């Protein structure tokens, strides 16, 4: 009985430690850029955040404190939304480079789909707003994606093409590294703006047979505990 009590205490302690993980907050991007910062959404951990802005022609240089980060908590599709006053007019350019890593926590569902969204976007005249995203599936760019696969996604809004979303499916992986480049050009006589950039990472959901096995396992544990309590 004493051993069973100790086992239950260990399990409760482990659960409490898992629950103590920092949930991704709604905050400005500068609070995500701290050394070693990581946070969780669903069963995924987001870390290694980076941000590099540039601008020319008098366009505003958007600092990390001017970018809001909003966690996307849609069931089985966790992700991140970056919002800010991204915009240019004639003869201006603006470029924002974002980066982060997504890892599946132990026992979590692997990722098999990525969606890229360009939100609140528009242009006039020769203006153009686009996002180019490079992704390492199964590894990180820290080692050049040596053991992973590199794929790309893109969106654009200008006079020749309107493509505000892109997605890709792939064999399930447990880690993904993302680098996205938001570019805005005013051209000689135009303007462009974007209010948000979003990624969602779809999960591999358990098959009914897997759920049945999980339920059977939980039931077996319950029977074991009940028998021990009667001893």
Distance between CA atoms of residues 40 and 75, nearest Å: 14
Interacting residues of 189 by C-beta distance below 8 A, sequence separation 6+: 90, 125, 126
Nearest to 73 by CA among 219, 225, 200, 178: 200
Tell me: pLDDT of 227 over 90: no
Q: Is the pLDDT of residue 70 over 50?
A: yes
pLDDT at 205: 74
Confidence of residue 115 (pLDDT cuts 50, 70, 90): very high
In eight-state DSSP terms, residue 23 is B
Contact 179, 98 (CB under 8 A): yes
Q: Return all residues near 7 (Cβ < 8 A) that are at least 6 apart.
A: none
Per-residue pLDDT at 81:
98
Chain mean pLDDT for the chain: 87
**Residue 34: pLDDT band with limits 50, 70, 90:** confident
pLDDT band at 8 (very low <50, low <70, confident <90, very high): very low
28-32: average pLDDT: 97
**In the structure, what pLDDT confidence band is assigned to residue 3 with cuts at 50, 70 and 90?**
very low
**Do the strands 128-137 and 149-157 form a parallel or antiparallel pair, or are they unpaired?**
antiparallel
Query: Does the reported pTM lie above 0.85?
Result: no
The percent of residues above 90 in pLDDT, for the chain, comes to 76
For the chain, domain boundaries = 20-205
Judge contact between 39 and 20, C-beta under 8 A: no
Q: What is the mean pLDDT of residues 100-117?
A: 97
Q: With 90 as the cut, is the pLDDT of residue 134 above it?
A: yes
């Amino acid at each position: 009985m004493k051993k069973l009590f100790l086992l239950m205490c260990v399990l409760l302690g482990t659960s409490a430690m898992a629950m103590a993980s920092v949930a991704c907050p709604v905050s400005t991007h500068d609070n995500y850029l701290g050394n070693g910062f990581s946070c969780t959404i669903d069963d995924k951990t987001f870390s290694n955040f980076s941000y590099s802005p540039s601008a020319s022609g008098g366009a505003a240089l958007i600092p990390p404190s001017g970018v809001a980060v909003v966690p996307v908590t849609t069931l089985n599709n966790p992700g991140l939304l970056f919002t800010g006053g991204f915009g240019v007019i004639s003869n201006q350019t603006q470029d924002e480079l974002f980066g982060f890593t997504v890892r599946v926590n132990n026992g979590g569902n692997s990722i098999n789909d990525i969606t890229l969204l360009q939100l609140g976007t528009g242009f006039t005249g020769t203006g153009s707003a686009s996002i180019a995203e490079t992704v390492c599936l199964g590894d990180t760019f820290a080692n050049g994606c040596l053991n992973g696969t590199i794929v790309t996604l893109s969106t654009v809004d200008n006079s020749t093409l309107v493509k505000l979303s892109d997605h890709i499916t792939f064999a399930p992986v447990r880690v993904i590294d993302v680098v996205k480049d938001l570019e805005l050009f005013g051209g000689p006589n135009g303007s462009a703006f974007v209010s948000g950039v979003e990624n969602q990472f779809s999960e591999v959901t358990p098959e009914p047979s897997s759920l049945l096995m999980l339920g059977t396992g939980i039931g077996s544990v319950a029977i074991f505990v009940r028998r021990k309590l009667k001893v």
